[in-house]
Structure 1
Amino acid sequence: MKIVKTLNVPAEFFYQQIINSVIFDIRKSTGETVKEHQLTNYSYVKEFSKSSRAKITIEEAQKNQRYRFNTSTVRNEFNVTYDIKAVSDSQCEVTYTEEMTSHGVLQKANDTLFGLFLVPFKKKQLVKMLESMEASY
């Protein structure tokens, strides 16, 4: 899945919003306080419920340009990238890319079937999130 959207916010603002959210999530999930410069290659486990958890690895945090992470569960692996390009001092173009790899033939078939229905919904939710970040500026 790929979404490209121009936002009326500076690249620095958008990137910092992502980083603040990530640092908050790490603190909430682990109790650790991590600084921005420590994020690249940082991994932690996030528990969604008693029977559902994921290992999240931040693969890249390139200031004002890119944020990339991997989420791995027993069923799937998600690779997400936010590429941020400054268009002007007050605008940036965000390219969101998400790739999913399913573990196992049955899981892959299940994800393909549900993906047909869920991808449009996920895209709509992501655009709403981006617009909400823009509105908070």
Structure 2
Amino acid sequence: MKVTKTLDVPADFFYKRVIDSVLFDIRKQTGKTVPVAALKGFKYRKDFGNGNSADIEITQAIQNQSYHYKTVSNRNTYEASYNIFPIDDKSIKVVYSEHVKAANSMQRTNDIIVQMLLGFLRKRNCKKMLSQIAASY
């Protein structure tokens, strides 16, 4: 899935909102406070509350430019990225993309069916989340 959206916010504002969310999640899951400069390569385990958990690794964190992460569970490897492209001082283009690689053929089939049924909703919710970030500016 790929979503591209233009937002009327500065790059530093958007990046800070994404990173604040990441830092909150890390603190909630691990009890640790991680400096922003140490995010790239940071790994932690996340419990999803339904008996499932996954390992999360932050693969890229470039201030005001990009944030990428990888989530590995027993079912899937999920890679997501936020890439930020400044248009001017007060607006940006955000490209959010995600890719899922199933651990086995049964899960791959399940993922394809879910994508066909819920792909539109996921894309719509992603656009809505990006718009909410912009509205909070």
What's the TM-score bracket when you normalise by the shorter of the two chains? over 0.9
1:9-48 equivalences under 5 Å are: 9-48=9-48
Q: Secondary structure at the match of 2:120?
A: helix
What displacement does 1:50 show? 5.3
Q: Secondary structure at the match of 1:49?
A: coil
Name the counterpart of 1:133.
133
1:113 maps to a residue whose letter is I
- Tell me the percent identity: 39
Structure 2 portions without partners, runs of 5+? none
Name the counterpart of 1:95.
95
2:83 maps to a residue whose letter is D
- How far apart in 2 are the matches of 1:37 and 1:119? 34
- How far apart in 1 are the matches of 2:16 and 2:107? 35
Q: Secondary structure at the match of 2:23?
A: helix
What displacement does 1:114 show? 1.3
- Taking only aligned residues, the RMSD between alpha carbons, in angstroms, comes to 0.7
- How far apart in 1 are the matches of 2:49 and 2:17? 26
- How far apart in 1 are the matches of 2:51 and 2:6? 38
- How far apart in 1 are the matches of 2:50 and 2:124? 29
1:49-68 equivalences under 5 Å are: 49=49, 51-68=51-68
- How far apart in 2 are the matches of 1:122 and 1:77? 18
- How far apart in 2 are the matches of 1:121 and 1:77? 21
1:19 maps to a residue whose letter is I
What displacement does 1:69 show? 0.3
- How far apart in 2 are the matches of 1:102 and 1:5? 28
Alpha-carbon displacement from aligned partner over 1:90-113 (angstroms, at most 9, x marks no partner): 000000010000010111111111
- How far apart in 2 are the matches of 1:119 and 1:50? 22
Structure 1 portions without partners, runs of 5+? none
TM-score calculated relative to the size of structure 1: 0.98
TM-score calculated relative to the size of structure 2: 0.98
What displacement does 1:35 show? 0.7
